[in-house]
């Protein structure tokens, strides 16, 4: 996953595979939690970047 350009709006990492893994409770497509997915639209860009930084290390 590439880092967004400074000042650019942080977009969702959703790839359209919207199904939660029953063991990890992470989305199989984007590796976000259901809470992160639900709050994404109200998060500011700093909060979104913080979530994006966590995704590569999350195990399904």
DSSP states of 8-58:
SPPPP---S---B-TTT-BBTTT--BHHHHHHGGG--HHHHHHHHHHGGG-
pLDDT for res 57: 96
Encode pLDDT of 6-52 as tens digits.
667 899 999 999 999 999 999 999 999 999 999 999 999 999 999 99
pTM equals: 0.82
């Amino acid at each position: 996953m590439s880092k967004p350009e400074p000042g650019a709006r942080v977009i969702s990492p959703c790839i359209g595979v919207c199904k939660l893994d029953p063991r990890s409770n992470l989305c199989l497509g984007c590796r976000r939690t259901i809470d992160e997915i639900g709050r994404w639209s109200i998060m500011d860009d700093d909060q979104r970047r913080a979530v994006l930084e966590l995704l590569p290390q999350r195990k399904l």
